A and B are shown apart, each in its own frame.
Chain A
Amino acid sequence: MSMWKEFTKGFIKENPVFVLLLGMCPTLGVTGSAINGLGMGLASTAVLLCSNTVIAVIKNLIPDKVRIPAFIVVIASFVTIVDLSLEAFLPDLYEQLGLFIPLIVVNCLILGRAEAFASRKGVGVSIIDGAGMGLGFTFALTALGGLREILGSGAIFDFKFIPESADGMLLFIMPPGAFIVLGFLIAFVNALMKKKAA
């Protein structure tokens, strides 16, 4: 039961984007479409899952004083692996996400989980935490990307549902749209939680 709770907490209650406000740069930067959000979310999840596992395994070997640099090296190695694999196998997505792939290294969500969770808890529960938090992040990015795509280009996952000749509200796939849609999404989640609490 508690394992299940560790897994599901990332979706709404402790959602890294909507509630904890972590990892905002990729959240805003790559969510011009649902598929980009999904890709970025899964890439970050892969890194988070691997880094959480490794850090939970080696946590007793790392002297306390240099733990942050050590965590960063672990994370950076996995980011390099993801970076090279995406370039090799999914060049289109790699092109779209661009700069934000190497920047997974400085995603505060990943270092945050390493510091707050994986360095204190066992291996099994850290893997569950990594998977839950990563999928929560993916869920948030896909939702934001999907909403922006629907509003901005009248499509979802590249499937256009408005007439071919019509345009969406371009504003929403441009930078300002990212801020505005995310603002309303967080307000919506706040309202949802308040209702649940009451």
Chain B
Amino acid sequence: MEYLIIFIGAVFVNNIVLAQFLGICPFLGVSSKVETSIGMSAAVLFVMTMATISTYLIFNLVLVPLEIEFMRTVTYILVIASLVQMVEIVMKKVSPPLYQALGVFLPLITTNCAVLGVAILVIQNQFNLLQSVAFAISHSIGFFIALVVFAGIREQLDLYDPPAVMKGAPIALITAGLLSLAFMGFAGLV
């Protein structure tokens, strides 16, 4: 039950993109086609879960015993950056087709604030390891839903002809606003 609440809360009520504004760059950047947005979300799911587990362990096993919690930001970003690099190398060797599909998105993930954001939120919420994993997976599914729905809308949007000054980013942002409004309907669900 507890995990179900974490899941619904993360996917619908506090959607990571539409309510918490994390990961906006990939949300606006790679969402012009449904196909690429699926690839991006899969890469995020993978890296976010791995990163949350490793930063959780490092925080509790290294930073807390040494009483250097203030080094959190520096450590986390290094862990995430090296993790992304490692995943890239391993994936290239082990599964070339997967690398072909996700490879281009991997370097982008280092500066995806969703990954760092979730790693920090897990510590702030004082979750245990299992809850943290559930939290990370739910948030990446929320990211997936927001991204794919938005990409679907944007594919349709290309067929229309908005006023010249609204083309591109402005109309995309306003569309995202309406989508976020729709997601507000889930408020109070948990």
Contact = CB atoms under 8 A, between A and B. Distances in A.
Interface of A: 21, 24-25, 28-29, 68-69, 72-73, 76-77, 79-80, 83-84, 99, 102-103, 105-108, 111, 171, 174-180, 182-184, 186-188, 190-191, 194
Interface stretch (B38-46, B92-100, B137-145, B164-172): B164-172
Contacts of A28: 21, 24
A103 B180 contact: no
Contact of A24 (B24, B81, B178): B24
B184 A76 contact: no
Interface stretch (B4-12, B112-120, B126-134): B112-120
Interface residues of B, number: 43
14 contacts: A24-B28, A69-B82, A72-B77, A76-B73, A83-B70, A99-B121, A106-B77, A106-B110, A106-B111, A108-B25, A175-B184, A179-B173, A183-B172, A187-B163
Contacts, number: 117
B23 interface: yes
Interface of B: 18-25, 28, 70-74, 77-78, 81-82, 110-113, 116-117, 120-121, 124, 163-166, 169-174, 176-178, 180-181, 184
A191 B165 contact: yes
A73 B25 contact: no
A183 B72 contact: no
Give the interface SS of chain A, mostly helix, strand, loop or mixed.
helix
Nearest to B116: A106
B78 A73 contact: yes
A73 B70 CA distance: 14
The dominant DSSP class at the B interface is helix
A180 B173 CA distance: 6
Contacts of A171: 181
A180 B81 CA distance: 33
Given A175-B19, A187-B166, A72 B120 contact: no
Contact of B74 (A73, A178, A188): A73
A183 B117 CA distance: 24
B111 to A, nearest CB: 5
A176 B180 contact: yes
Contact of B170 (A79, A174, A177, A186): A186
B21 A29 contact: yes
A21 B120 contact: no
A84 B68 CA distance: 13
Q: Lowest 8 A-B CB distances belong to which pairs?
A: A179-B177, A183-B173, A29-B21, A180-B177, A183-B174, A187-B170, A176-B181, A24-B24
